[in-house]
Amino acid sequence: MLTASESIKISKLLSLVLRHKPQAIGITLDENGWTDVQTLLTRLAANGHQLTPDQLYDLVDTNPKKRFALTDDRTRIRANQGHSVEIDLGYRQSTPPEWLFHGTATRFIDSIMDQGLKKMGRHHVHLSDNEATARQVGSRHGKPVVLVVQAEAMARAGFVFFQSENGVWLTNHIPAAYLSSNGNFQAG
Ligand code: HQG
């Protein structure tokens, strides 16, 4: 077993190399984001992070946010979301529930209510189906505030939504009219 702090350190490094900078340890990702487990372990070891296959599998299985996925035969691994490198994750297009939630920080609200929710550094705007998760995501940025998204109305108007393997809802842009922090919407 890895210690909790080793797990966190390796999980952060995996997020970095599987989402953003595979070249940092000398691995490559295929067009769907997969990389070979054995090569990954060799390259991690060469960079000072010795890990057995079972320790890696355990880290993937117990990751609280299901950040990583393994193929059924456990020979390849990828990140489930959050990439900055261009890859095709094959997200399922899906019809959202009536409401979805986005947690952000209070200091961003004026800009968001002006421009809508934008992807910023990511490939999509990230949403959750529950308020508690959204609040946690928002608190990463400062004093949290949860925005309610009229997702079903957006879908009816032709906006496309996807779901990642770990249940996060994704879309490209949310106009301010579909957003509210207090239940008052401009559109509907
Ligand atoms: C804000 C983590 C000003 C947006 C989490 C957010 C999530 C605007 C920040 C996942 C804006 C971007 C995603 C606008 C959006 N003006 N600010 N027009 N539009 N913003 O981290 O949603 O740990 O890129 O509200 O748990 O916070 O990576 O996105 O505050 O699931 O696995 O710009 O990342 O998962 O911040 O988080 P982020 P996010 P991982």
pLDDT band at 97 (very low <50, low <70, confident <90, very high): very high
What type of residue is 120?
A: M
Q: How remote is the CA of residue 26 from the centroid of ligand 1, in Å?
A: 28
pTM, to two decimals? 0.78
Q: How remote is the CA of residue 53 from the centroid of ligand 1, in Å?
A: 32
164 Cβ closer than 6 Å to some ligand 1 atom: no
Q: How remote is the CA of residue 127 from the centroid of ligand 1, in Å?
A: 9
Averaged confidence pLDDT in the chain: 93
The stretch 3-18 carries a mean pLDDT of 94
Instruction: Write down the pLDDT at residue 42.
Output: 97
Whether the per-residue pLDDT at 184 is higher than 80: the answer is: no
123 Cβ closer than 6 Å to some ligand 1 atom: no
Whether the per-residue pLDDT at 58 is higher than 80: the answer is: yes
Specify whether the CB–CB gap between 176 and 112 falls below 8 A: yes
Instruction: Write down the pLDDT at residue 168.
Output: 94
SS (H, E, C) the chain: CCCHHHHHHHHHHHHHHHHHCHHHCCCCCCCCCCEEHHHHHHHHHHCCCCCCHHHHHHHHHHCCCCCEEECCCCCEEEECCCCCCCCCCCCEECCCCCEEEEEEEHHHHHHHHHHCECCCCCCCEEEECCHHHHHHHHHCCCCEEEEEEEHHHHHHCCCCCEECCCCCEEECCECHHHEECCCCCCCC
Q: How remote is the CA of residue 85 from the centroid of ligand 1, in Å?
A: 17
**Which of ligand 1's atoms lies nearest the C-alpha of 168?**
31
Whether the per-residue pLDDT at 188 is higher than 60: the answer is: no
104 Cβ closer than 6 Å to some ligand 1 atom: yes
Q: How remote is the CA of residue 184 from the centroid of ligand 1, in Å?
A: 22
